[in-house]
A and B are shown apart, each in its own frame.
Chain A
Amino acid sequence: MAFTLYSLLQAALLIVNAIAVLHEERFLRHVGWGSDQGIGGFGEEPGIKAQLTNLIRSVRTVMRAAISARHFQSILPSRTDSV
Chain B
Amino acid sequence: MELERHRERGGGGGAGAAGPDPTPPKTPSGLTSPLPAAPKRRVPAAAPRMADPHPLFDDTSAAGGGGGGGGGAQPGRGYGGPPPVSSPYPPPASFLREPVSSLAVVYGSSLASQGRDIVDRNLDRFIPVGRLKYYFAVDTVYVGRKLGLLVFPFVHQDWQVRYQQDAPVAPRFDVNAPDLYIPVMAFITYILIAGLALGTQNRFSPDSLGLQASSALAWLIVEVLAVLLSLYLVTVNTDLTTIDLIAFAGYKYVGMIIGLVFGLLFGRTGYYVVLSWCCLSIFVFMIRTLRLKLLSEAAAEGVLVRGAKNQLRMYLTMAIAAAQPLFMYWLTYHLLRAGAGTGTGRVRGVAVLGAGGGGGIRGGPRVPPTQLGGGGPRAQGVLEQWGAKAPGCWSWAGG
Contacts and interface: CB of A to CB of B under 8 A. Distances in A.
Contact of B233 (A2, A7, A51): A51
Contact of A1 (B215, B221, B233): B215
Given A2-B215, A2-B393, A5-B221, 7 more contacts: A3-B218, A4-B211, A45-B235, A45-B309, A48-B234, A51-B233, A52-B233
A2 B221 contact: no
A50 B370 CA distance: 65
A32 interface: no
Nearest to A7: B218
A4 B218 contact: yes
Contacts of B57: none
B245 to A, nearest CB: 17
A2 B309 contact: no
A7 B312 CA distance: 32
Contact of A51 (B235, B334, B397): B235
B126 interface: no
Contacts of A4: 211, 214-215, 218
B386 interface: no
A72 to B, nearest CB: 24
Interface in A28-52: 45-46, 48, 51-52
A1 B333 CA distance: 11
Contacts of B215: 1-4
Contacts, number: 38
Contacts of A51: 232-233, 235
A69 to B, nearest CB: 20
10 contacts: A1-B397, A2-B394, A2-B398, A4-B211, A4-B218, A5-B214, A7-B218, A45-B235, A45-B309, A48-B234
Among A2, A5, A7, the most chain B Cβ lie within 10 Å of the Cβ of A2
Given A1-B215, A8-B218, A8-B222, A46 B394 contact: no
A1 B334 CA distance: 8
Interface bracket on A: 10 to 19
Contacts of B118: none
Interface string B359-399: 00000000000000000000000000000000001101110
Nearest to A4: B214
A8 B221 CA distance: 9
B217 interface: yes
A48 B219 contact: no
Interface residues of B, number: 20
Contacts of B234: 48
Contacts of A1: 215, 334, 397
B233 A48 contact: yes
Among B211, B214, B222, B396, the most chain A Cβ lie within 10 Å of the Cβ of B214
Interface in B209-233: 211, 214-215, 217-219, 221-222, 232-233
Contact of A2 (B211, B222, B235): B211
A1 B219 CA distance: 11
A52 B398 CA distance: 35
A55 B222 CA distance: 18
Interface in B312-347: 312, 334
Nearest to A12: B225
A78 to B, nearest CB: 15
Contacts of A8: 218, 221-222
Contacts of A5: 214, 217-218, 221
A25 to B, nearest CB: 24
Contacts of A2: 211, 215, 393-394, 396-398
Nearest to B309: A45
B33 to A, nearest CB: 37
A46 B235 CA distance: 8
Contacts of A52: 233
